[in-house]
Structures are given as structure tokens and as C-alpha cells.
Amino acid sequence: MKLSAKAKRSGYGQSESPVLRVQENGVAAYLVEAKSYEAMQKRLQLLEGLARGEKAIAEGRVVSHSRAKKRMARWLK
């Protein structure tokens, strides 16, 4: 992928700041470093998991501590 002159001037690839890339047809995209993207994906997965857990608690779908430990032991093998 070729970088635009603007992206090159902005130092894309040298910092962790996202770079906005806008083409003449109005299509826009933010360019981010791969490691930043991966960190955002991991954070999103964690937040989604927490939201599912909070929803389960609100709906009364809970298990005892001992049952949770057994489930986690199987899951962590």
C-alpha cells in the first residue's frame, strides 16, 4: 500500500497517533500502527466480555464460586 504524501509528511509509521487519510472521492480512513490496532481489539474483546458478564448477573444467570472454579479449571487447561 502506498502512503499519501500527507501521511508521509505526518510521520505515519513513526508515531502511535492515528493518521486521517481522505481521498478525493470523500472516502476516509484512519491509519493506525498494527500494534495499536491489536491492542484496541484486545481491549474491545475484554469490554465485550465484561458487558456480557454484567448482563448475565442482571438476568440472574450466576453460578456458585465452587462451580465457577471448576469451570475455569477446565477452561484454563
Q: Please report the pLDDT score of residue 76 as a whole number.
A: 83
C-alpha cell at 23: 481521498
Which neighbouring-strand residues pair with 28? 22
Q: Please report the pLDDT score of residue 39 as a whole number.
A: 93
Q: Please report the pLDDT score of residue 14 as a whole number.
A: 56
Parse the chain into domains and list their residue ranges. Answer: 1-32, 34-77
DSSP-derived secondary structure for 24-73: TTS-EEEE--HHHHHHHHHHHHHHHHHHHHHHHHHTT----HHHHHHHHH
| Per-residue model confidence as pLDDT tens for the chain (77 residues) | 455 555 555 554 555 688 878 887 888 888 888 899 999 999 999 999 999 999 999 999 999 999 999 988 987 87
What's the pTM? 0.56
Q: Please report the pLDDT score of residue 20 as a whole number.
A: 78
